[in-house]
Amino acid sequence: MPVDPLNDEFSRGKLDLKGDMKEDMAIKEYETLDAYSVTDLIQIRILLNKETGTLLYKVVLPELGSDESATLEWLRDSLFSILERSSEIPNVREREKYLSEKVASHIERKGLNLEEAMMRYLQYLITRDYLGYGKIDPLMKDGNVEDISCDGIGIPIYVYHRKYQYVRTNLIFDNGQELNNFIVYLAQKGNKQISVSDPILDASTPEGNRINATFGNEVTPRGGTFTIRLFKEVPFTPTDLVMLKTASPELLAYLWLAIENGRNIIVLGGTGVGKTSTLNAIALFVPPNSKVVSIEDTKEINIPHRNWISAVTRSGVGEGRFVTGKAAGEIDMFDLLVSALRQRPDYMIVGEVRGKEAYNLFQAMTMGQTTLTTMHAESIDDLILRLENRPLNIPRTMLTSINCVVKQSMVKLGGRKERRITEVSEIVRLDPESNELIFNTIFSWDPTTDKILFSGKSHGVMELAEGQEYGGDRIRDELERRADVIRSLAEKNVTSYTEIWDYLRSYSVNPSGLYTDIKRGIDSGRD
């Protein structure tokens, strides 16, 4: 096996796709825009086709010679019984370790003399195919990939890349049987079933990634499809939002103060704008000693609080839903919410409000339960419309319990799509005469300058200023100080959520001391 898996054509800026995609059979001129390694065996190249202007996400793996290919097939045949035994090991990483060790021992007993690099590659291929995700495994391992989309047979797989948005890959399922088998495998990963009689799948992988798939040609004429939305193991932080320009330090300082003082916040926006990522980031502002309960359909919230209960819905089985509306064993958001309210949390984080649980949630909010949540809506008006109408049916009088609405959008900047918080508003009150909700916009995004502007007036901040802790100009000084802390952490490239958590805990104990340390840059132990 060559040390560098990239061939000479690639290094000269040319790529022979070698039949990976029928429309690219010929060698074309490509320019390498980006190159990085996912692991020591998996390399990624982002290529620009100079003729068409399109991008290609190229997965580069070492090539197997005829002898190595024969060895791989022998391993697959001889490891069947071992694969069955490995399923009894509950931990995924332990199963991978066990399987890798068995591959090495099998090769050693056969007397094959393989280089260490080839041994590791064969171990990877076996674990990839039997415990991982087959040909899309490199995509699953790439932290830059947010979504993976297969649209049918013979169609290139696409990824949504954090930097380059939707990009075509050099991976493809050439026949229906291969694709259907893989979709069934995905269903099994999520402890679900998919078939001709039940051809639509919604599930989660053991890692927490969302799967939506269709089977065969039953509902998608071009063949089976799947979309995998990848769960970010390392959660977004406030400094990530600043560095990506999704939010400003001043905006986050406002949310920090609002959350700390028990304000209810809804993050709204369309699909894929990053609502949950923002929710997770601002959840770090929940005071360290608080009891937190999170409720989600798919586990995405990841916070460092010790007193935190994470609850996730569960699908049911059988025909029970025709009588009760729910399948046997199903636990939905409503069930989890009722349970959470009995646990006396200081803060509740609800992944998304969209069903009958909404009424109970708003009842809890009106009684003082602090809640952070998200909702699909394109504007505050859309939010109110959704909340007031079926199936949610929230009375307008209850909507005043929403203290703050954060609108997040996907915007176009210089031909690129970027995520921005475009508006932050407060619901001030309900006008008794007109029955209209009165809003106050605090922050708004200016598309000409790509900056988030502060209006200079916040009713919520004024209420805090009238309280015992803050008064007069002290509240403005506090906001500026917190904004400086967030700005300084971003400038120092502190993005680890555990590090930021340490800073936030220190700030809650000694605000002036931490602020001084950060501004002077002498907190070398964590910088």
The verdict on 291 and 381 lying in the same domain is yes
User: What pLDDT, on the 0 to 100 scale, is given for residue 135?
Assistant: 96
The verdict on 374 and 226 lying in the same domain is no
Share of the chain above pLDDT 70, in %: 88
User: What pLDDT, on the 0 to 100 scale, is given for residue 219?
Assistant: 96
Q: What are the distances in angstroms from CA 270 to CA 46, 393, 443, 464?
A: 28, 21, 19, 32
280: Cα within 13 Å, side-chain hemisphere: 21
The verdict on 165 and 186 lying in the same domain is no
Whole-number Å distance between alpha carbons of 25 and 407: 45
Q: SS3 of 153, please? A: coil
Instruction: Give which of 100, 106, 95, 107 is closest to 123, Cα–Cα.
Output: 100
Q: How does pLDDT run across 218-262, given as a tens digit for each residue?
A: 999 999 999 999 987 778 899 999 999 999 999 999 999 999 999
Whole-number Å distance between alpha carbons of 99 and 103: 6
DSSP string, 354-408: -STHHHHHHHHHHTT-EEEEEEE-SSHHHHHHHHHSTTT---HHHHTT--EEEEE
Q: Is residue 508 part of a domain?
A: no
- Which residues, 6 or more positions from 241, have their beta carbon under 8 angstroms from its beta carbon? 247, 252, 278, 281, 421
Domain boundary among 456, 480, 503: 456
Domain boundary among 431, 456, 481: 456
pLDDT at 86 over 70: no
The pTM (predicted TM-score) of the whole model is 0.82
For position 357, which CATH number holds? 3.40.50.300
Instruction: Give which of 62, 56, 65, 63 is closest to 15, Cα–Cα.
Output: 56
The verdict on 209 and 132 lying in the same domain is no
The verdict on 276 and 340 lying in the same domain is yes
The verdict on 227 and 276 lying in the same domain is no
Domain count, the chain: 3
- Which strand (E) or helix (H) includes residue 312? strand 308-312
User: What pLDDT, on the 0 to 100 scale, is given for residue 5?
Assistant: 35
Q: Is residue 477 part of a domain?
A: no
User: What pLDDT, on the 0 to 100 scale, is given for residue 82?
Assistant: 63
Q: pLDDT band at residue 515, thresholds of 50, 70 and 90?
A: confident
Q: pLDDT band at residue 8, thresholds of 50, 70 and 90?
A: very low
Residues 109-137: what's their mean pLDDT? 91
Which residue range(s) make up the domain with 409?
A: 240-248+263-456
